[in-house]
Amino acid sequence: MFRSRISRRPIRPRSLPMIQSRPTEQHGHHMALNVDVVIPTAICERIARATGGLVAPTIPYGNRSQPRSGGGPAFPGTINLSAHTFSLVELYRQKVRRIVVLNGHYENIWPSIEGIELALETIGRDKDLTILRMDHWEFARPETIDRIFPNGYPGIELEHASVIETSIMLALRPDLVDLSRALHDGPAQFRPYDRFPKPPAEVPPSGVLSMTEGSTAEKGEWLLADCVSRVVEIVNEEFR
């Protein structure tokens, strides 16, 4: 039985667990390997408090980090799962019928969709089961993005270990951020294709794909507020 960090009650039929999916992955010289652990877990806990949901154990690893969105597997500390393995996590057998999957790792997008589709093909689409799949960065309001990036938003792909994640970590766990160690060797200028097996030379040595300059805890709180408030609205609309 899964137990929530919020209520400490076992999951009951038709409960609403919040599942975090993320990897253990390098996030530059200035942050720890658990950025994609801290951020989605904290968001799930805030949403669960507001909706009466339960927080299921976080999936400890994510799908393969890629050079153009996460720096790639060449960096020490990045631990990968295959898409197949990632997609096999299940909760239906535990009598859970309302599920929110909150993704915190860019490369998990399609494996998480594959896992949901495999489950529906096995269980059946006419069952009393509803799954909401979402990526936390999608809920930043345009006006918030404009405030954070007055000179232009580089895009979520290049925001790996950059201003968005660094600011949220400064808001949640400043003890795990040391901006004095940031190398400021970005932003990356990637070609529009992937190269295997050798990663492209455009990956910055720091593993930070854009820039960390301008990161603040205040900006992190703006982003957290956007995400939590919007997901709470969605959960209440879909499940209540």
Q: Catalytic positions, please?
A: 25, 27, 36, 105, 107, 160, 165
CA-closest candidate to residue 144, choices 172, 170, 174, 168: 168
Beta bridge partners of 80: 62
Is the separation of the CB atoms in 142 and 150 below 8 Å?
no
d(CA 7, CA 200): 46
Helix (H) or strand (E) holding 86: helix 83-86
Beta strands in 59-178 (DSSP E): 62-63, 80-81, 98-103, 130-135
How is residue 52 annotated by DSSP?
Answer: T
Pairing relation of β-strands 98-103 and 17-21? parallel
